[in-house]
Amino acid sequence: MIGPNATTDTSVGQLSEQPLVIDRSEHGISRKQFSPNAIKVLYRLKEGGFDAYLVGGCIRDILLGQQPKDFDVVTNATPEQIKKLFRNCRLIGRRFRLAHIVFGREVIEVATMRGHHEAEPSKNQVSQSSEHGQLLRDNVFGSIEEDAERRDFSINALYYSINDFCIYDYANGINAIKAKQIELIGDPETRYREDPVRMLRAVRFATKLDMSIAPKTEKPISQLADLLDHIPPARLFEEVLKLFLNGKAEANFLMLRQYGLFKALFPALDRILDNSNDDFAEKFIVQMFRNTDKRINDEKKVTPAFIFAALLWLPLLKVSKKLQQQEQLSEYDAFAQAMNKVLSENAQHIAVPKRFTLGARDIWHIQQRLDKRAGQRAYRLTQQPRFKAAYDFLLLRVQAGEQQHNELADWWTSYLSKDINGQKELVKALGNQGGPSGRRRTRRRKKPAE
């Protein structure tokens, strides 16, 4: 989609003194490919006397022949000035103030052009860094040239102007797209220290866009992976969803493991994967992500509760077994205590909302009840809201190698495929199997009062 003349000698990932200007005839992008609401925002800002550009992922994706999910705008208007122009605007963010322009279910994100932290900020602009170099406050505004330098990757420093319909390339992003490389703008270690989440974004962009991470951008990742420990757990939850709910979960998982990033997200599981004597643990997680990718690419629903249930399943079993041995607890009590312990420890790294941890608990609980099928038990179990997810979880376990549950999985598959009469016959055929273990207690009848 990019014209043959749209090149420059500037090395990829480095800012040029003057942007490469790609006119309409060269880039071939039509305004029809943009969200109408994004165009409305651009023109409203222009009429208000401000400069405004579509920027980043939406331009990159269209150049790559993909359909953008979001359309982001950058402007020299401050958040407060943006809010005055749009009645449907809400300001969000502390680390960097953003404006969200709401059009029903679509939100156009508008950011003020960022500036350098070395400059003396005004009273309305705040910059703050941690001892590790991480930016805690980033509300320093600047010019479009400064904003381009503050962008993370060269492929995201592409600006589309409605004044002349040209694309302005400040970091040789066009050549990065042609070279199929993900490269940070500026010094990689400094940029990762500013925001360690960029390491996760590098992985996600590489798999999403079928690109490789450039050598200089790749080199510091493994040694800086521990910086993710300083990222708020709520923010890491959002990043995990982006990594594992985009149809590239398996590839992202393998690359996260390759660079040592997975241990910052799920340290307990990472230790199990490193120390497992067999390949079941790896097969279980890879199969889960493979199944997830297939469902997403088939446009089927995937709940984060299932993903977190799978990612914490092996740590759960390990802790449960340890509690049984050390505390002399019953299997049921050890399992219940292990759930609380594993979820509590995980929350220190990733803040999973309660609606998803409750879902994971239900999936785990049902695993213990799937072999109790006599009488009305099978029917009642299928009425549980999370039963289908729990059934899929059982199939996943068998797929990954738990052949001892093969017969149970086949029984439930057959049960779910039959009508009510067929289901009753299956339960009847169980005989004494599939019922509660141990002797059945009988109530003593009270003697009638004389």
Active site residue 293: no
Rounded Cα–Cα distance for residues 328 and 312 (Å): 23
Provide the domain count of the chain. 2
CATH number at residue 73: 3.30.460.10
Q: Are residues 385 and 277 in the same domain?
A: yes
Give the pLDDT score at 63: 93
Q: Are residues 164 and 297 in the same domain?
A: no
Q: Are residues 188 and 272 in the same domain?
A: no
Give the pLDDT score at 439: 40
Which residue among 169, 193, 217 closes a domain?
A: 193
Catalytic residue, from 72, 138, 169, 293: name it: 72
Give the pLDDT score at 131: 54
Which residue among 193, 227, 246 closes a domain?
A: 193
Catalytic residue, from 51, 70, 226, 392: name it: 70
Q: Are residues 58 and 164 in the same domain?
A: yes
Structure tokens at 49: 């006397």
Catalytic residue, from 61, 138, 147, 152: name it: 152
Q: Are residues 62 and 142 in the same domain?
A: yes
Q: Are residues 187 and 318 in the same domain?
A: no
Active site residue 152: yes
Q: Are residues 131 and 25 in the same domain?
A: yes
According to DSSP, the β-strands at 167-169 and 158-161 are: antiparallel
| Residue 408 falls inside a structural domain | yes
| Residue 200 falls inside a structural domain | no
CA angle at residue 179 from 174 to 182, to 5 degrees? 80
Q: Are residues 176 and 301 in the same domain?
A: no
Specify the 3-state DSSP secondary structure of 103: strand
| Residue 405 falls inside a structural domain | yes
Give the pLDDT score at 328: 87
CATH number at residue 351: 1.10.3090.10
End-to-end C-alpha distance for the chain, whole angstroms: 97
| Residue 348 falls inside a structural domain | yes
At residue 143, φ and ψ (nearest 5 deg) are -90, 175
Q: Are residues 29 and 162 in the same domain?
A: yes
**What are the residue ranges of helices labelled H in 298-376?**
304-311, 313-327, 331-347, 354-367
Q: Which residue range forms the structural domain that includes residue 61?
A: 20-193
Q: Are residues 57 and 138 in the same domain?
A: yes
Which residue among 193, 216, 233 closes a domain?
A: 193
| Residue 369 falls inside a structural domain | yes
Amino acid at 249: A
- Shortest CA distance to 63 belongs to which of 27, 100, 25, 14? 27
Active site residue 70: yes
Give the pLDDT score at 433: 65
Structure tokens at 1: 């989609």
Rounded Cα–Cα distance for residues 146 and 118 (Å): 12
Give the pLDDT score at 435: 60
Residue 380: C-alpha distances to residues 55, 377, 420 (Å):
53, 5, 13
| Residue 100 falls inside a structural domain | yes
Contact 254, 228 (CB under 8 A): no
| Residue 202 falls inside a structural domain | no
Q: Are residues 165 and 298 in the same domain?
A: no
Q: Are residues 288 and 371 in the same domain?
A: yes
- Shortest CA distance to 221 belongs to which of 210, 213, 231? 213
| Residue 219 falls inside a structural domain | no
Q: What is the pLDDT along the chain (450 residues), one digit of tens a residue?
A: 554 444 444 444 556 668 899 998 889 898 899 999 999 999 999 999 999 999 989 999 999 998 898 999 999 999 999 999 999 999 988 767 899 999 999 999 999 998 765 544 444 444 444 455 454 445 578 889 999 988 999 999 999 999 999 999 999 999 999 999 999 999 999 999 999 999 999 999 999 999 999 999 999 999 999 999 999 999 999 999 999 999 999 999 999 999 999 999 999 999 999 998 789 999 999 999 999 999 999 999 999 999 999 999 999 999 999 999 998 889 999 999 999 999 999 999 999 999 999 999 999 999 999 999 999 999 999 999 999 999 999 999 999 999 999 999 999 999 999 999 999 999 999 976 666 544 444 445 555 554
